[in-house]
Each structure stands twice: as C-alpha cells, then as structure tokens.
Amino acid sequence: MLVRNAADASSRHHSLRELGLNTSSNPIISLNEFTYKKGIEIYGEKEPAEYVYQVKSGAVRSYKLLSDGRRQIGAFHLVGDIFGLENGSEHRFTTEAIVDTTVRLVKRQSLELVAEGDAMVARNLLSMTANNLQHAEDHMLLLGRKTSLERVAAFLLEMDTRLTAAGILALPMSRRDIADYLGLTLETVSRALSRLQDLGILGFIGNTQRQIMLLDRHQLAALDDLQN
Amino acid sequence: MLVRNAADASSRHHSLRELGLNTSSNPIISLNEFTYKKGIEIYGEKEPAEYVYQVKSGAVRSYKLLSDGRRQIGAFHLVGDIFGLENGSEHRFTTEAIVDTTVRLVKRQSLELVAEGDAMVARNLLSMTANNLQHAEDHMLLLGRKTSLERVAAFLLEMDTRLTAAGILALPMSRRDIADYLGLTLETVSRALSRLQDLGILGFIGNTQRQIMLLDRHQLAALDDLQN
DNA sequence: CGAGCGCTTGATTTATATCAATGCCAGTGG
DNA sequence: CCACTGGCATTGATATAAATCAAGCGCTCG
C-alpha cells in the first residue's frame, strides 16, 4: 500500500511561522540569514546550542562520528526544514551544508522565552520534537532490520515525498552521504540503485546516472512494496 | 573515558511525579495499576494511545515488526520508566511485558488537560520526549555503524547504568530480545558475551550463563573502551 | 583541456546470519 | 519428589549479504 498523502509529507515540514513565530508580532525574535558554502560545517556536536535554523535554500546533513571516522547521518534537512532545535544546551549532531545553503536563524534563548509565555509555541515545539522522534524510530527499524535494497527503496520514497517536483527527484547528496544515512557503503548503494534501474523501478535522466531520477506512480508503488 | 555520573543515569528515569503530577493535588488524574503476565501485550502499534504507563515492577519491550516477522526493539522500559507517551493519537510501537510486570497508568487525555494549564508539566513532557529522541539518535549510530562486539558492550553499559544494584546485572530479557534491540541475531549476541567473558571483561554468577553477571569498575572501563 | 572527484562495476574477503546439535535449567505432572 | 519436557543458551559448521579492494569511466571545473 502506497502511503503518500499531503498530511504525512507536510508533518515534518514546519516553518518558523508554523512554530508560532511571526517577525512582526514578536520583535524579540531576530530572523537573520546566513549562507554556507558546500561542505562547510554549520555547527559541531557538543557545541553550545545557540541558534535554531531553517533551511531557506540548499540542503544539510546532520551526523555523528565514531572515533575511527565511521559516520552515521541521522537526518537530511531540506528546504523548509528546521534543525538544531535541542532541549539540552548542546548540539547532539554535527551539521554541514551539502550544497551551498542559506539558512534563517533564530536565537534559541529568545525562542524559549516566547515559548514560556505562549502555549501554542510550546505545543509546536513539542510536536516538532515528537516528529523528529518518530523519524528516528522508523530509522532504527530500517538500520536494524532492513536489507540494502529495502533501505534504498525507503530512502527514495522518503526523498520523493520530501523534495519531489512532479515526479523528478534531484538528490543533492552524494552516494557516500546516502550510504552513511542508510548504514551501508557507497558501493552497496550504487549497486542497489543499478538493480532498481534494471528492474525498471527507476529511470535516470541524461546518459549517465547523475543525481536526477524519474519516478512515476507505478514505480513508486513498486518501491513501496520493496521497502517493506 | 568512562561516563557514568548520576545525572546521566537519572535523566531518563522520570517518575510520574517528576512529570509534575501529584495524585493528591490533581484529582483529575486517576492513577490506576495493572499487572501483565510475562509475554502479554500491553498495547499494539497503531492502537489509539489512551494511556501513558509507568513501570512499577518488571520490564517491558517496545518494538516494531516488518511484514515477514523481523523485529526491531526500540527500547526497554525498566522500573520507574514512563512509556506509551505519544504526541499523536496512535501508539507507534507494540509493547509487551518481558516478565510479570505491574504498571501504573494515567489517561492520556487528563494528562494533556493538565499540561494545557501547567507550564511545568508541559515542559516536562517536552523534556521526556527529547530524552527519548536522544536515546533513539544514539541508537541509530549503534545500529548503523557499530560492530557486534561494540553493540553488546554498549548494551551492557546502558543496562548497568539503568538497573544495576551494586555491580550486579540481572537482565530480565532473553538473548533474542537483546539481539532484536541491537540489530543482531541471538547467536551473535551469545558469541559476543562469551568473547567478553574470555577477555575477562565479564563474569557470570553460577556455573552457567544465566542472566546474572558481575561488572566491576575495571570491567566497566574496558567495556567503555570497546563500545566506541 | 587535463585532473580529479564521484560513480559504477567486478573480484574477493569477511562479519554476521543461518543451520544444526547439544546442554542445562525451570516448570509440570505423574 | 523425581522424571520428563520444552524453552533458552551455547557452540560449531557453513552460507551469504554486504564490505573491502580494485579498476575504469565520464562529468565538472579549474
């Protein structure tokens, strides 16, 4: 069964306005913008969480590292997504711009101040955290129990609901990023994509596989079967 | 470096009182108790989330299933732990008693009602959800990138901080449960435990390996090295 | 226009899963 | 109270999915 309704897709796409913030009515909140070049770190794990961010354009990865360099990407943040929202005082991931990226940022402290007095903002804070939790819970199932093909299929479906413009998927992240998100190696991801292509579940634009793929209704349904 | 301070350990052990609830001052809140026999389901995935639970005695597993029966346990709930708290209206895991278990339960609705008026309760709700999120984030790293030995070492350390009484670990869950929590098979878990025993990092009580193990200061430090 | 990076594809290795046998303890019923 | 049974755990042998090692291709960009 293919689940792809608008409510599902939008539930993770809060805007700062959805958070209950509004520049004009809340003069405390300063909405600054900043641009990061491709590959540049936005903040590091364990740094004090001074700001909350919203992707205005571009894409961001957040990840944890083990001492020997093994990397686990916990989430990709696409246009409209809010990230860097922590309950504690420290960031729990490192984040980097995947491509040139512009973010809006809000001082964490001023956000907390507003939440203190405004129950709606407080509720939206909780709802955002709960959405992040749900994503992490689903991802645990993927990482713990799914095969490589199922993981890649699930990834494509997730990206499709989050950044598709009319059946065309233009992925901003590299094979290595995808692999580190799915708990695989880049070779395994590449092989899985080739296999999906052979199966006719996926089509690439241009004469080489570079980032852009097509997904029609039937292919999406086939992916949905595969991802379990 | 061995991190094992009281703050860390207690941060995930909220009591309902910590949530800001108090039977005497909040007559709305009804604190009922219920006992489940070993292996019995408490609630199922996608069931309406009517209650929030706290483990009074025993232990609980929450898990998701794939269509073919593969299981991923997302968390174990031990004495004092609160579980079943959802932001949406449905449960996202199935939960079962691992051993005979008594829980206290609170109607979700009454909890929300209280949170509406009491900022402290609302803040604690957010803080609990954020703690669950942090646990899930750490677990994604484990599931995506750690070796079997690292996973088992991390598991033992987690359980040690959560249910140790003076260096003695009495695990309520089976090898299969541990495996499904760590994204491994039960044989691999068993082999990892045997290996740790051979390495002198772990000692079992009794003449057979059954549930109870000893962990002294040095062994904990060795585990901490291993888990990465 | 050349260099290098990212990607694909092939060959081989390896960690973990799977299959299989056996042992041990706990609970049950005779 | 003891013998039986079944579940859980360990351990060994083998299979396999994915990782690793390796080569080559084609964009992209400097």
CB atoms under 10 Å from CB of A150, counted, come to 19
Task: Please tell me which residue, A172 or A16, carries the higher pLDDT value.
Answer: A172
Give CA–CA dist A183/B213, Å, rounded: 31
With cut-offs at 50, 70 and 90, classify the pLDDT of residue B215. confident
Scanning the structure block, which residue is given the tokens 């009495």? B170
On the question of pLDDT at A17 being above 60, the answer is no
Where on strand C do bases come within 7 A of a protein Cβ? Answer: 6-11, 15-20, 24-26
Percent of chain B surpassing pLDDT 90: 74
Question: Could you tell me the pLDDT band of residue B19, with boundaries at 50, 70 and 90?
Answer: low
Q: Which is more confidently placed, A29 or A171?
A: A171
Question: Tokens representing B93?
Answer: 């895991």
Residue A196, pLDDT above cutoff 70: yes
Mean pLDDT of chain B: 88
SS3 B64: strand
CB A126 within 8 A of CB B87: yes
Give dist(CA B151, CA B35) in Å, integer.
Answer: 32
Q: Outline where B118-214 has alpha helix (H).
A: 119-145, 148-163, 175-182, 186-198
What is the rounded end-to-end Cα distance, in angstroms, of chain B?
Answer: 10
- What SS3 state is found at A105? strand
Using the C1' atom of nucleotide D18, identify the protein residue whose alpha carbon is closest: A188
pLDDT given at position A212: 77
* A140, A146, A150, A151: best to mutate for the B interface, most B CBs within 10 A: A140
Whether A155 has a pLDDT exceeding 80, the answer reads: yes
**For residue A213, how many C-alpha atoms fall within 13 Å in the half-sphere facing its CB?**
20
Whether residue B173 is predicted with pLDDT greater than 80 in this model: the reply is yes
C-beta of residue A169 within 8 angstroms of C-beta of residue A209:
no
By C-alpha to C1' distance, D25 is nearest to A208
pLDDT in tens, A50-94: 999 999 999 999 999 999 999 999 999 999 999 999 999 999 999
Q: Which residues of B touch A75 (CB under 8 A)?
A: none
| A/B interface, count of CB pairs below 8 Å | 110
Q: Do B143 and A146 touch (CB under 8 A)?
A: no
CA distance B121 to B182: 33
Residue A210, pLDDT score:
64
pLDDT in tens, B74-130: 999 999 999 999 999 999 999 999 999 999 999 999 999 999 889 899 999 999 999
* Token pair belonging to B192: 């990892």
